Structure 1
């Protein structure tokens, strides 16, 4: 093989099953993916894919190649992690992945503080609800709502993240006989927790919080949003609902990198300061 990077295009097409989707994943063009896969087939002297009604499928030869291509990708990622882990400086890039709403409602001041304390670190925030792949270094540190972090990670649980019932004061002042239920498109919050009729549904926490803030109904939110919003009132007659946990994680290979270590320790301290808010406990 003249270009091992062709395997990256091969693996993208395996996962996406269409050239257009693979191109989007790789942030390149349709023509580039097609050309690189065709070049790989020519060099190997065998067809890797057959095109069917459901998209591109691996040939028998392609399935054999996939095993080795995955091993190459894993080893390349391991080299990348090893190289990053050896960096002994508090200057340089650092990627942090977290839920955008967690940053907006709970952590923005604490992230600002970290940036002030470490001006030579170039911090990249990746705001996504998906768990960034630490094996492939899609992020160096992740803050994730989960109950089962991957085994290869290093870190710890920093808080529980329960749900609670919230509404605006304007809604409560003019509360109807049958409440209007404002729901997040998330299984534990879909069905009304109290007698109510469904009135709104959105996959966005920020949108649901905004609709509640504007007095359109009543609904469930994580406490890290509801407790921080001055326009929302928590209905204390209803118990907290246990949901997910918040974890600060990195890959085992990166745990001793100075920048990773500095950020993790800062996040541990930050969550200890705001844990009572996130967990919805009432301060004594």
Structure 2
């Protein structure tokens, strides 16, 4: 058999359809189907079957899938070992998170990482979508919700909560309309809270699908919005505002890394840097009681 065909079994098991598996692998649907048929022909057993609108593993396919996961983990461990530079350099770590976390939290702290991990090459991948650690798209990921990917192949640990607060630029905060997310993003807790506030006070004619864009719009004076406190409190152009529309939202922050990489020094140093950075930024962004301009009549 062609051992590479096992990648296609893993992709179908995770995606549940030929089309989704093809998209995750960067190939066409015909290629996935052909490789699965080749795998079945080599093994003499059926590994997938159509059920309803989806594609499921057969009983034999499920047993084979467990072995395929072990094979994948071992190959990733070989890749990690091959990537270790014995010439003094630590090697490369690929770190992914949403753009706001990369740009506003991690990038300002890069000097600390460079001082503690000379010889490290860091690839920062700012993506709104969740890159797959299992497919090797990243080594470490920061996620704003409890992870669902990976099972035993991925280590995940909650680092804490991101508290949100209302912010706008100094000097115009009291009269600013709310800037929020497009309707497709309404599942986000901060998006729902902004929509609730905008319904009560008024919204701008701008909406976004990315928190980094939202941050830049608020800093440019186009309106007010909800931001993580560790971002808003660190921006001198912004002031925290009273919030009168229910409880402020929170987002969980999770650190994920591929299990087979956990003992590598470069991965350990980056994970420690992330935790250290968040601890410092969180301590600097303790909640404040913003002035209630509506009560005292003062200019914001």
TM-score range relative to shorter protein: 0.7 to 0.9
Distance apart, 1:165 and its partner CA: 0.8
Alignment pair present for 1:79 and 2:86? no
Residues of 1 paired with 2:220 and 2:119: CA distance?
42
- Which residue is equivalent to 1:153? 155
- Which residue is equivalent to 1:202? 208
- Which residue is equivalent to 1:70? 65
Q: Can you give the 5+ residue segments of structure 2 that lack an aligned partner in the other structure?
A: 290-300
Change (3 A) 1:125 1:227: same
Change (3 A) 1:220 1:261: same
Residues of 2 paired with 1:21 and 1:160: CA distance?
32
Deviation string 1:60-117 (CA, Å, 9 cap, x unpaired) is xx41233123212321243246554796965222222222211111210323542465
RMSD: 3.8
CA contact (8 A) 1:98 1:142 kept: yes
Alignment pair present for 1:224 and 2:230? yes
CA contact (8 A) 1:171 1:216 kept: no
Q: 1:192 aligns with which of 187, 191, 196?
A: 196
Residues of 2 paired with 1:50 and 1:135: CA distance?
24
Residues of 1 paired with 2:102 and 2:284: CA distance?
14
Matches within 5 A, 1:139-150: 139-146=138-145
Alignment pair present for 1:183 and 2:180? yes
Residues of 2 paired with 1:81 and 1:281: CA distance?
46
CA contact (8 A) 1:163 1:242 kept: yes
State the TM-score, normalized to the length of structure 2: 0.71
State the TM-score, normalized to the length of structure 1: 0.74
CA contact (8 A) 1:169 1:231 kept: yes
Secondary structure of 2:42 counterpart:
helix
Residues of 2 paired with 1:155 and 1:17: CA distance?
27
Change (3 A) 1:95 1:230: same
Q: Can you give the 5+ residue segments of structure 1 that lack an aligned partner in the other structure?
A: none
Q: 1:270 aligns with which of 255, 260, 277?
A: 277
Change (3 A) 1:278 1:74: farther
Matches within 5 A, 1:111-150: 111=110, 113-115=112-114, 118-129=117-128, 138-146=137-145
Which range moves more in the overlay, 134-143 or 30-39?
Answer: 134-143
- Which residue is equivalent to 1:6? 5
Distance apart, 1:208 and its partner CA: 2.0
- Which residue is equivalent to 1:167? 168
Residues of 2 paired with 1:156 and 1:57: CA distance?
33
Which range moves more in the overlay, 214-223 or 12-21?
Answer: 12-21
Alignment pair present for 1:235 and 2:230? no
Corresponding pairs, count: 272
Distance apart, 1:49 and its partner CA: 5.2
Distance apart, 1:252 and its partner CA: 5.4
Residues of 2 paired with 1:240 and 1:125: CA distance?
33
Distance apart, 1:138 and its partner CA: 4.7
Residues of 2 paired with 1:245 and 1:34: CA distance?
38
Distance apart, 1:162 and its partner CA: 0.7
Change (3 A) 1:42 1:76: closer
Secondary structure of 2:177 counterpart:
strand
Distance apart, 1:133 and its partner CA: 5.4
Distance apart, 1:12 and its partner CA: 2.2
